[in-house]
Amino acid sequence: MLDDAGAREAVVTAADRLFYARGIQAVGMDAVRAEAGISLKRIYALFPSKEDLVVAVLAGRTREWTDGVERAAAAASDPRDRILAVFDFLDAWFREDGFRGCAFINSFGELGATSPRIADAVFEHKDAFRRHVLRLVREAGLPDAVALQVVLLAEGAQTTAAIMRDADAARQARRAAEVLLAAEPAAG
């Protein structure tokens, strides 16, 4: 039998997989139980509500996203290349089997209007990404306004890739970011 940490991880992993593939509202807790192999009683002991489980899934997604974006940036030596690495990360993600867009945008679309906790989790994730890009922009000596412009390109690429089923959206967004970065003089 799994300890609480192992059971929690199994439930979050199962819920993440199901919610991402089918949508949060389309997945009942019984489906999570079947996928995780954990009894409903134990699931509800770990997550008193479905909303608690969704928030835990989004926290896990934030860790994955942050690790991936930071790894991509760390692989680049030039400060501007660290910014562009965001789009390389997106490009690899968009080409994964089962890509269904941004789990945060999807969650917000499904539940953001009715769940302040989910809306807050989405906001915190998106704001953390904006702050990360702002740090990269400052390291590159560019004006702060460039950070939001890069974030808009990344967010737009995610939405376009999901809706249009166009994995090349990240490459196109990267080209736009290259133009943007080349046009910006260093902040003075």
Q: Rounded to two decimals, what is the model's pTM?
A: 0.93
Structure tokens at 36: 């995780």
Measure the CA–CA gap between 127 and 151, rounded to whole angstroms: 10
CATH architecture of 1-48: Orthogonal Bundle (1.10)
Residue 184 confidence (pLDDT): 77
Q: What number of CA atoms fall less than 13 Å from residue 144's CA on the CB side?
A: 1
112-130, pLDDT tens digit by residue? 999 999 999 999 999 999 9
Choices 1.10.1060.10, 1.10.357.10, 3.40.50.300, 3.30.930.10: CATH for 50-183? 1.10.357.10
Task: Tell me where in the chain the CATH 1.10.10 domain(s) lie.
Answer: 1-48
H or E element: which one contains 57?
helix 50-74
Residues 122-177: tens digit of each pLDDT: 999 999 999 999 999 999 999 999 999 999 999 999 999 999 999 999 999 999 99
